[in-house]
Amino acid sequence: MNGPAAGTPLPDHLRLPHPARLDAGRADFEAIMAAHDGAVANGQGGYVDPATGLFVMTAAALWARGECCTNGCRHCPYAERPTTN
């Protein structure tokens, strides 16, 4: 996959993870997104998952890589999105 031009900011519609990678119905969804958004706002490449304690890359950091690594990252901005009608 071809990624963004260098320095292109992450589009807003890619901030939320693909629903197959993070279900918005999870009890901890808001805490996860708060940690993600806080890391993005502070220019950090990732955050510590509030439930597992594992380090998770932000969508912005993954976007800056320029292409998908195919590892199934939670916030992958390259994952194909469901279409809305």
- Domain locations in the chain? 45-77
pLDDT at 81 (0 to 100): 77
Is residue 24's pLDDT more than 80? yes
In this prediction, residue 38 carries a pLDDT of 97
Residues 26-58 pLDDT 10s: 999 999 999 999 999 999 999 999 989 999 999
pLDDT at 22: 94
Task: Quote the CA–CA distance of 51 and 27 in Å, as a whole number.
Answer: 10
Residue with the larger pLDDT of the pair 80 and 17: 17
Least Cα distance to 45 among 60, 33, 66 occurs for 60
Residue 17's closest CA among 68, 69, 61, 79? 79
Q: Percentage of the chain surpassing pLDDT 70?
A: 88
User: Considering the chain, what is the average pLDDT of its residues?
Assistant: 89
